[in-house]
Amino acid sequence: MKIFRNKPLLILLAVVMAAALTGCGGGGGGEKAPSGDSAKKITVKFSHVVAETTPKGQAAIKFKEELEKSGQFEVQLFPSSQLYGDKEELEALKANNVQLIAPSVTKLVGFVPAFQLVDMPFLFASDQAAYNFYDGPKGQELMNSLEPQGMLGLGWWPNGSKHFTNSKKPLKKPEDFKGLKFRTQSGGVLDEQFKSLGAGSQTIAFGEVYQALNNKTVDGQENTFNNIDTQKYAEVQKYMTISAHGRLDYVVLTNTTFWNSLNDEQKKLFTDAMNTASQLERQMADELNAKSFETLKNSGKMEIYTLTEEDRQAFIKALQPVYDKYTEAIGKDYIEAARNSK
């Protein structure tokens, strides 16, 4: 009872506590969640360019579910380039207009060229070798390399191997590429890859690729089974070559402005939710790519060719100039670690 005697002090205390409680909703611009909750939640905008039925799309949903369990965050998901395309999402992240993106690492070439590692032809021995590289010291080092740019890596979300598609002809040997033009995600390694095969290339944002294939701005592209399937490229690409010549993987990024606005408990909630989502993402990558391959095969829309070991060796030889030109820019240490990963 004694405590109620000092009423002004009690009121002051209540005001201070209320201010402290609402004040902790700082990150993501500190917007109030439109949930009707009286307590402010931290708004986290997560923008990405793919469909929700992809490994990345599914993992983003999982992350939202996990993080929102805490009652402290509201995660808003913007799939399929709804909010930002490839280039814009990187700028938006740096400006803290979004708090999470998960770009294909190739698209980080402008910040850290070593991310083009995934595009080095036939580098990783298997999916597991790639996962082990990402989880190992060199993978961590690579992820951390974005920090001076105000970006913080929170997890690797691998998608899988890339395969070629095109609208002109079956691609079985390196010489079959001559005179064709391919869409690339970004970066000199991919340009060099196509140049070594006698083909041209053009960087096109993911959200515009279907249209570019449809109106023949480019003849072909390279992607995972799941992206080829969910983007309906089979409608505009008659041929697919199962080549697994490179990888398409993501790194989940936040910005340091947002991250530094979180307290230790909130950072832990974030990291825990991310770890759960990352586990699901790998499982989804395996499952959804396998499922999409079956869908593409069974649709009968594409003529599918799988490289033989002899073809593969011919491609490795034809693509050697990519290593000659880019090993130094990427870093011999990264390439060796990736090659030796089991």
- Burial letters 243-274, b for 16+ CB under 10 A, else e: bbbbbbbbbbbbbbbbbebbeeebeebbeebb
Q: Please report, as residue ranges, which positions from 159 to 198 form the binding site for ligand LMR (by CB under 6 A).
A: 159, 185
Q: Please report, as residue ranges, which positions from 236 to 265 form the binding site for ligand LMR (by CB under 6 A).
A: 248
Applying CB under 6 A, which of residues 96, 223, 255, 341 lies at the interface with ligand LMR? 223
Residue 212 engages ligand LMR in binding (rule: CB under 6 A): no
Smallest distance, Å, CB 49 to ligand LMR?
A: 5
For residue 275, give both structure tokens. Answer: 């770890």
Residue 206 engages ligand LMR in binding (rule: CB under 6 A): yes
Q: Which is nearer to ligand LMR, 27 or 158 (CB)?
A: 158
Q: Which is nearer to ligand LMR, 227 or 243 (CB)?
A: 227
Smallest distance, Å, CB 321 to ligand LMR?
A: 23
Q: What does each C-alpha distance from 195 to 37, 105, 138, 189, 241 come to in angstroms?
A: 57, 21, 29, 10, 18
* Interaxial angle between packed helices 137-144 and 332-340, expressed in degrees from 0 to 180 and rounded to the nearest 10: 140
Task: Please tell me the count of residues contacting ligand LMR according to CB under 6 A.
Answer: 9
The answer to whether 130 touches 341, Cβ cutoff 8 Å, is yes
Q: Which is nearer to ligand LMR, 43 or 47 (CB)?
A: 47
CA-to-CA distance for 24 and 10, rounded, in angstroms?
21
- Burial letters 127-160, b for 16+ CB under 10 A, else e: bebbbbbbeeebbeebbebbeebbbbbbbbbbbb
Smallest distance, Å, CB 146 to ligand LMR?
A: 17
Rg of the chain on CA atoms, in Å:
23
CA-to-CA distance for 273 and 66, rounded, in angstroms?
5
Smallest distance, Å, CB 189 to ligand LMR?
A: 14
Q: Please report, as residue ranges, which positions from 35 to 74 form the binding site for ligand LMR (by CB under 6 A).
A: 49-50
Q: Pattern 78-117, binding to ligand LMR, x per CB under 6 A? A: --------------------------x-------------
Question: Using CB under 6 A as the criterion, which residues of the chain lie in contact with ligand LMR when the complex forms?
Answer: 49-50, 104, 159, 185, 206, 223, 227, 248
